[in-house]
Structure 1
Amino acid sequence: MRSPAIGPTILAALTLAAGLAVGAPLMLKAQVASMPLPAVAPAVSTVVLDRSGRLLRPFAVADGRWRLPVEAEDVDPGFVRMLLAYEDRRFERHRGVDLRALARAGWQLATRGRIVSGGSTLTMQVARLLDGGPTRSAAAKLRQIVTALALERRLGKAEVLRLYLTLAPYGGNIEGIRAASLAWLGKEPKRLTPAEAALLVAIPQAPEARRPDRGADAIRAARDRVLARAAALGAIDTGDLATARTEAVPQRRRPFPMLAAHAAERALRERPGEPVHHLTIEAGLQGRLEGLARDRAAALSDRVSVAILAADHRTGEIRASVGSSDLLDLDRGGFLDMTRAVRSPGSALKPLIYGLAFEQGIAHPESLIEDRSTAFAGYVPANFDRTFLGTVTVRRALQLSLNVPAVQLLDAVGPARLAARMRRAGAAPVLSDLSPPGLAIGLGGVGVTLTDLVAIHAAIARGGEAVALRIRPDEDPLPPGRRVLEARAAWQVGSILAGVPQPGGASGAIAFKTGTSYGYRDAWAIGFDGRYVVGVWVGRPDGEPVPGLVGIDAAAPILMDAFARIGQPAPLPAAPPGVLAASSAGLPAPLRRVRVPRGGGPALVQGPQIAYPPAGAEIDLGAGRGAAAPLALKVREGRPPYLWFADGTPIGTSDFGRAVTFTPRERGFVELMVIDGAGAAARSRVFID
């Protein structure tokens, strides 16, 4: 019998089926090969790291998301094992799509009418995260499958895993394992407990519903399911399961690290295109000193801030930079970096003045010098307490921060030389463009920053050799051998400052100097041991006076606490060769008393002198904001009675007392004049604000 002939329709169907069976894989392969990949380099947060690679501060990406860079080696291996066991057991074996998982998920959906288990691989999830489009439709799912195959073909398993670790959603604007671990656990993901790992596996399955800050029940139940499955699949020991289930789940979002905030922001401004910034800062020390600044500012008056700068003077590397007591405290100007604000240093430059005098053979620490009222071409400095001690040693004059001896020595060495040596140390003093440096710069009549003062004292600590303070490892150092002081002079200054009594009475471990600017606006303390130099500034960032704000009381205790938080002080260096050790009487005759070649003589007292306000002062009396407050005018020397004038108009007379009050009519410059009973006069031009 002949077999019935195959009809044309059946033959065509069989031919089509055979063609599809052979051609579909070829078509899919061609589509995968030509598939344009989505952007596989998503924007990640710029990060600032400390000297050891610890995170100081991350910055959100442009759309406000926290998506930190991460590599697989930065993540606990236990988390990766648990993730793959729970999400994609055959990750290492499939090529982007797990056909068995897809078939199982489809069968369950068809037979039960609901989704029982997902069929997406980790690679398919990455494809969905990169694409960012809808995934419910069949067309979208097919595109996801093709994209997953293309990702694995072109990128490989390791890069696919890194992309998942970077992009997985963790609720709100948190993406990626590293941002999630910091936000929900307060730690880097390098070391995780089984319970922490399970928590971070569970959240991306329903990131908004399982956010820990929206209730603990949902995330605890999801975490425990992950733990149970991980134990069943051998991803964790069954003995750890019971312990992990008892571990508490977080219930709030933690802030991201924000150490050295001002320095981090400056690093971004200087090099905006770099994704990772490495600084010389030590995160542990930075955190301790930020806590110190915050606690001490809180104990002071409102609106007072504290800045601290610590550097290794052997290398110039900055180890801690605290720009303010609290970045977010607007009342205290926390957003201002006071390590770089230009302020008056008060007496903090005196060590360099004395060092120059030692270097030039003008004085020796045991030389005698006069602390008496002295006039220098009309400039008559006075000590902080308005008293004079007479004849003292240079050592004692510096330790007591006497003003007249400092000005005598500055007059001898020259203010221009002082400014030049400041610049050689790496400082940038702000001086008037209208006249050369004057003697007033020795007592604070110059603008400097905390960074400048630390650089100057770093040079003294290094035996007089300058060092560039740097906060990046790759910053250029200063040329070697750039001298600020001769080695013997620098050591002599250090030995004097080491003898200054510290708050509490001790001395010797740390050489330090304090300073108080005019009007109690700035309190300073700068010190060094054999390794570190630390500077402290205390004051109001807006420049307003703070009554009673004095360096020895406000800044010096913070300085000593800063050194205590650094650790055991390093010994100060021994004396270099050639240092002359002798008492005052044992010194060579030219050094027994300070020689002042260009110095001043005794102050002439025939005429009056305006003690307050000094010439050139800018005084805030509220004249620019309405009615001005009264201004106290004070006179010294001369003979009573005293007649006062403002812009040529008489404003008051004092028969026996040396003070009157004057209320300015408006904001602006005022020419003050006083005439004593003998007809002698003194003038002072000031600006009233």
Structure 2
Amino acid sequence: MTVAVRSIKILLLSLITLAALLWLADRLSPLPLREAAPARVVVAEDGTPLWRFADKNGIWRYPVTLEEVSPWYLEALLSYEDRWFWHHPGINPLAILRAAWQNLRGGEIISGGSTLTMQVARLIDPQPRTFTGKLHQGWRALQLEWHLSKQEILTLYLNRAPFGGTLEGVGAASWSWLGKSPASLTRGEAALLAVLPQAPSRLRPDRWPERARAARDKILRRLAAYGVWPRAVVDEIMQEPVWLAPRQMPQLAPLLARRALSLSNQSKITTTIDASLQRQIEALAQGWKGALPPRTSMAVLVVDHTTMQVRAWMGSVDLNDDGRFGHVDMIGSVRSPGSVLKPFLYGLALDDGLIAAESLLQDVPRRFGDYRPGNFDTGFHGPVSASEALVRSLNLPAVQLLEAYGPKRMAAALRHVGLTLRFPAAAEPNLSLILGGTGASMAEIVAAYSAFARHGQAARLRLLKQDALAERPLLSPGAAWIVRRILAGEAQPQPDSTLPAVAPLAWKTGTSYGYRDAWAIGINARYLIGVWVGRPDGTPVAGQYGIASAVPILNQLHHLLMASPQLRGRALPVDPRPASVSVVTLCWPGGQPLPAGDVNCRQQRQSWVLNGTTPPTLLAVGQEGLFGLQQTIWTNQRGERVAADCSGARAQQVVLWPMPLEPWLVPGERRAQRLPPVSSDCAPALRSGAPPLLITGVRDAQILHRLPGKTQLTLSVTAQGGEGQERWWFLNGEVLNAGQTHLTPRLVFERGGQYQLSVLDEIGQVATVTFRVE
């Protein structure tokens, strides 16, 4: 074997051994690129930082890519720090020799000779400024070049370069010092930020503007000398002073940022928030805060229902106000929804054929086992249309409707589209859910309300930029359209030529039991708006309810949104009437169309209907049979009621009002006046059923006189017969014993006049007497 061959083998063996040692060293001491608790930032849709979460050392960053940084900044940085970055292998021997010669000749450290790669190595693995530390830094630089591309190394520098205090990276520096994206830097700003990492504390532009300007001008002269930027441009920039406002920390949507942090593991989490709108709403909240009772908070959620992107999320009125539980996010908290679930019930009932928009419902006292609901105003209103009951948020008609539709069925329909109603352990959905006897979050409620703006399709909220649109059917397009128009004040049908194509603001309020939660949910041409006011700890606040506490805020938000620059010059989404919706003239009390002049058409109503069908008037459970609407009677030639087997008897159909409505009807519409008198020759057989309900203590048509010298007349009355234990008393249509159904009225009359006294039992029987006091 010749010497040459042996030398080649030794050389190859040495190279292999060196390569193996380098590989082993790389394996034993890998690049420390991953942090255990990295800094993270939540940003708005346009990149504006909302909130930052520092790493374990208190550092915060705003991650950027090369494409998200101004090219002028990259030119300034590379020209000043490392002109040969794209060509050297991580270490530039010529730069090191030049720096060593300059330092030796000057007798002090003038230049470091570090490449940009070596600076990145120092940033990810800090070492002491010793000869050994420099060797370690060089080794890390070689590792970086081995494992990463030049673009990746430069990106690491952009995100790790120190900018003073707790700031790292050009993104964090640009937003903190300049309040703008690093992609929008001017040449002068780019030059300033390129030089700051050299001595971030000594060159802080807010404290030492002259030092910062001198450093900036130094890099500008170098850019001109190298011909990177034109001399004329550089001279113009050097005339600009350096003055920056104090550092700005991102402090928007803190509770949303906390939620977003749990939804993504990225360093920069991009949400769908509109930073400008979020800032406006948080500023307005400071004004609203002063009008709120002590320890009361507020939540606001704004969603673009055309895309389902969340545009503003304010979970509390003030994060820093511990007295108002500012750290509690009320948008995601489970609260009693009050009456805000009612529109869903009316829409589902429309689709189920239970009602039309103007169907007759009964706002009368009723008891359902141990459950006895009442209205917010503690009174009752007798016969009401479905649209009126929804707009006025009457409770008894809603309970009547839910009894017919089924509480479990409604809860399942809402759960299918993401609105999960919460009940106490082992409890099942019941009739109380429609009045707030359940729990739900604002986020889910507002998302479900999108069905009224999205043709019946309820969509999930899109909080992160990458969230896809997901929706499920809740209502038919026609039912959704009808309910939205009712809530917008357009319950009465109009011709398409006069019906606004752009739907006005539709809204629904809610107040939970004990004034704990005040709600207002709105749907305008483009946005869903959710407002909640209350105490997060659930303490009742007297006088706090939806129409007084939440609706004023809703209206202000609506006007703010409709006047926003984002909508200027843009066509608003239209809401045309679906083909399945038409107009029908229906008749009360039967609820269906009747020919003109029909005696059973006691009141005509123009109504929106689905698919051209008009369901008959919905009766409550127990009101069928003897107390139903449709009665077949037989009359003789004199028009008197007779038995069916009487000579000459003729069958006749009479449509009567539901019996529980008797106290609210004018005398001519009550059953006693609607039914013909009974014939004395061939009387009809008595119907079997409940014992008749009677009033004792006063007779019909009786005239009562006050005693001589007395200004008052006291009258005690009782009820006999009827079904059940409960009785409801009415004087001239006004309830006498709200909440005290076992009460036997003791009436005191201070002035004369005509009076009507009525009593109602549990199955709807009504007894009425009319008397006069003189």
| TM-score, normalised relative to structure 2 | 0.67
Aligned partner of 1:397 in structure 2 is 389
Q: Match for 1:356 among 348, 362, 376?
A: 348
Coordinate RMSD, CA, aligned:
4.0
Shift of 1:176: 1.7
Secondary structure of 1:328 counterpart? coil
| Alpha-carbon distance in structure 2 between the residues aligned to 1:514 and 1:223 | 58
| Alpha-carbon distance in structure 1 between the residues aligned to 2:467 and 2:383 | 48
Q: Classify 1:26/1:552 alpha carbon distance in 2 versus 1 (closer, same or farther; 3 Å).
A: same
Shift of 1:543: 1.5
Q: How does 1:490-569 map to 2 (within 5 A)?
A: 490-499=480-489, 509-529=504-524, 531-567=526-562
| Alpha-carbon distance in structure 1 between the residues aligned to 2:468 and 2:177 | 40
Alignment deviations for residues 293-318 of structure 1 (CA, whole Å, 9 cap, x no partner): 45433443343322223334455444
Q: Classify 1:636/1:150 alpha carbon distance in 2 versus 1 (closer, same or farther; 3 Å).
A: closer
Q: How does 1:262-661 map to 2 (within 5 A)?
A: 262-271=255-264, 273-313=265-305, 316-377=308-369, 379-472=371-464, 482=473, 484-499=474-489, 509-529=504-524, 531-567=526-562, 570-582=573-585, 584=587, 587-588=592-593, 594-598=617-621, 601=660, 638-639=743-744
Alignment deviations for residues 51-109 of structure 1 (CA, whole Å, 9 cap, x no partner): 56665444323333223433222211111111222223343454444444434433333
Shift of 1:513: 0.8
Alignment deviations for residues 573-627 of structure 1 (CA, whole Å, 9 cap, x no partner): 31332534336569426969842241674799968999xxxxxxxxxxxxxxxxx
Shift of 1:350: 1.6
Q: Classify 1:424/1:154 alpha carbon distance in 2 versus 1 (closer, same or farther; 3 Å).
A: closer
Q: Classify 1:408/1:157 alpha carbon distance in 2 versus 1 (closer, same or farther; 3 Å).
A: closer
| Alpha-carbon distance in structure 2 between the residues aligned to 1:377 and 1:214 | 75
Alignment deviations for residues 204-227 of structure 1 (CA, whole Å, 9 cap, x no partner): 111222334544443344334333
CA contact (8 A) 1:316 1:469 kept: yes
| Alpha-carbon distance in structure 2 between the residues aligned to 1:289 and 1:67 | 26
Shift of 1:41: 2.3
Q: How does 1:11-160 map to 2 (within 5 A)?
A: 36=26, 39=31, 41-43=33-35, 44-50=38-44, 55-135=49-129, 137-149=130-142, 151-152=144-145, 155-160=148-153
Q: Match for 2:243 among 249, 255, 260?
A: 249
| Alpha-carbon distance in structure 2 between the residues aligned to 1:33 and 1:439 | 72
| Alpha-carbon distance in structure 2 between the residues aligned to 1:231 and 1:401 | 73
Aligned partner of 1:218 in structure 2 is 211
Shift of 1:455: 3.2
Q: How does 1:183-262 map to 2 (within 5 A)?
A: 183-240=176-233, 241-256=235-250, 258-259=252-253, 261-262=254-255
> Comparing 360-369 with 233-242, which one deviates more in the overlay?
233-242
Aligned partner of 1:5 in structure 2 is none
Question: In the alignment, residue 516 of structure 1 is paired with which amino acid?
Answer: T
| Alpha-carbon distance in structure 1 between the residues aligned to 2:377 and 2:371 | 18
Shift of 1:519: 2.0
* Runs (5+) with no aligned partner, structure 1: 1-21, 611-632, 642-654, 657-689
> Comparing 433-442 with 66-75, which one deviates more in the overlay?
433-442
Question: In the alignment, residue 85 of structure 2 is paired with which amino acid?
Answer: F
Shift of 1:50: 5.0
Q: Classify 1:296/1:563 alpha carbon distance in 2 versus 1 (closer, same or farther; 3 Å).
A: same
Whether 2:158 is the aligned partner of 1:165: answer yes
| Alpha-carbon distance in structure 2 between the residues aligned to 1:637 and 1:216 | 83
Secondary structure of 2:330 counterpart? coil
Alignment deviations for residues 522-572 of structure 1 (CA, whole Å, 9 cap, x no partner): 111112245543322122211122333221232223333434444455333
| Alpha-carbon distance in structure 2 between the residues aligned to 1:168 and 1:508 | 52
Shift of 1:421: 2.5
Shift of 1:450: 0.9
Shift of 1:242: 4.1
Secondary structure of 1:246 counterpart? coil
CA contact (8 A) 2:213 2:241 kept: no
| Alpha-carbon distance in structure 2 between the residues aligned to 1:224 and 1:510 | 57
Secondary structure of 1:202 counterpart? helix
Q: Classify 1:107/1:214 alpha carbon distance in 2 versus 1 (closer, same or farther; 3 Å).
A: same
Question: In the alignment, residue 77 of structure 2 is paired with which amino acid?
Answer: L
Question: In the alignment, residue 574 of structure 2 is paired with which amino acid?
Answer: P
Secondary structure of 2:378 counterpart? coil
CA contact (8 A) 1:292 1:558 kept: no
Question: In the alignment, residue 572 of structure 1 is paired with which amino acid?
Answer: D
* Runs (5+) with no aligned partner, structure 2: 1-10, 492-499, 595-600, 602-613, 624-659, 664-692, 694-717, 720-724, 729-737, 750-774
| Alpha-carbon distance in structure 2 between the residues aligned to 1:247 and 1:309 | 42
| Alpha-carbon distance in structure 1 between the residues aligned to 2:515 and 2:348 | 28
| Alpha-carbon distance in structure 2 between the residues aligned to 1:609 and 1:248 | 83
Aligned partner of 1:680 in structure 2 is none
> Comparing 410-419 with 294-303, which one deviates more in the overlay?
294-303
Question: In the alignment, residue 426 of structure 1 is paired with which amino acid?
Answer: G
> Comparing 488-497 with 231-240, which one deviates more in the overlay?
231-240
| TM-score, normalised relative to structure 1 | 0.74
Q: Classify 1:411/1:402 alpha carbon distance in 2 versus 1 (closer, same or farther; 3 Å).
A: same
Between Structure 1 and Structure 2, whose CA radius of gyration is higher? 2
Question: In the alignment, residue 132 of structure 1 is paired with which amino acid?
Answer: P
Q: Classify 1:189/1:391 alpha carbon distance in 2 versus 1 (closer, same or farther; 3 Å).
A: same
CA contact (8 A) 2:174 2:180 kept: yes
Question: In the alignment, residue 596 of structure 1 is paired with which amino acid?
Answer: L
Shift of 1:147: 4.3
| Alpha-carbon distance in structure 1 between the residues aligned to 2:428 and 2:532 | 27
Q: Classify 1:485/1:635 alpha carbon distance in 2 versus 1 (closer, same or farther; 3 Å).
A: same
Higher relative contact order (CA 8 A, sep 6+): 1
Question: In the alignment, residue 329 of structure 1 is paired with which amino acid?
Answer: D
Shift of 1:514: 1.0
Q: Classify 1:91/1:595 alpha carbon distance in 2 versus 1 (closer, same or farther; 3 Å).
A: closer
Secondary structure of 2:151 counterpart? helix
| Alpha-carbon distance in structure 1 between the residues aligned to 2:182 and 2:251 | 14
Q: Classify 1:129/1:26 alpha carbon distance in 2 versus 1 (closer, same or farther; 3 Å).
A: farther
Question: In the alignment, residue 558 of structure 1 is paired with which amino acid?
Answer: I
Percent of residue pairs bearing the same amino acid type: 42
Q: Classify 1:361/1:208 alpha carbon distance in 2 versus 1 (closer, same or farther; 3 Å).
A: same
| Alpha-carbon distance in structure 1 between the residues aligned to 2:327 and 2:339 | 27
| Alpha-carbon distance in structure 1 between the residues aligned to 2:257 and 2:534 | 23
Q: Match for 1:178 among 168, 171, 174?
A: 171
CA contact (8 A) 1:351 1:493 kept: yes
Question: In the alignment, residue 431 of structure 1 is paired with which amino acid?
Answer: F
Aligned partner of 2:647 in structure 1 is none
Secondary structure of 2:127 counterpart? coil
